[in-house]
A = this chain, B = another copy of it.
Amino acid sequence: MERPRWLDEREQSAWRGYRRMRRLLDLELARELMRDAGLSEPDYDVLSDLAETPDRRLRLSELADRMLWSRSRLSHHLTRMQQRGLVTREECAADGRGAVVALTAEGRRAVEAAAPGHVAAVRRHLIDLLTPDEIAALDALTHRVVDHLTGPDDARR
């Protein structure tokens, strides 16, 4: 192994800041979402992804891919949400193995009630604290990193 190139001071500071922000932002957004809407962040993500599809229903594998979740995790989480009446499972006509998740009326009500407050929280704790330039930089940089990580496997060693 070559001699490691450690992070310089600025890089170190950015990396630590990123991780600290990540943690604090997560905690706060989750806290407010639970307090104001009774939903966890994973709940909200599932519901809002479903609410955005034309049919308000998706194949499990499709949803899992969008959310970057394992199928197992999604399956477990959906059974919990199903028990709370937020979603239902349906058979898939096109593929006998497949299943489809659909938003229930109650699930729809839940996201619609939660969304304004959640967006406001994202603004309050992140977006509105940044300059337009910073938002542009964040946009560019995150997408570059995402592209790198989803590129050909050998790019990841």
Q: How many copies does the complex hold?
A: 2
Q: Is there a chain B Cβ closer than 8 Å to A92's Cβ?
A: no
Q: Quick check: A156 and B120 within 8 Å, CB to CB? A: no
Specify which of A138, A143, A146 lies most central, judged by the most chain B CB atoms within 10 Å of its CB.
A138
A150 touches B24 (CB 8 A): yes
For the complex, what is the distance from the CA of A49 to the CA of B116, rounded to whole Å? Answer: 39
For residue A136, which residue of chain B has the nearest CB? B10
A5 at interface by CB-CB < 8 Å: yes
Q: A119-B4, A141-B130 are in contact. Are A135 and B21 (CB under 8 A)?
A: no
A10-B136, A137-B141 known, 15 other contacts, Cβ within 8 Å: A11-B135, A13-B139, A14-B142, A20-B68, A20-B146, A22-B22, A24-B145, A25-B145, A28-B156, A129-B144, A129-B145, A130-B141, A137-B137, A137-B138, A138-B138
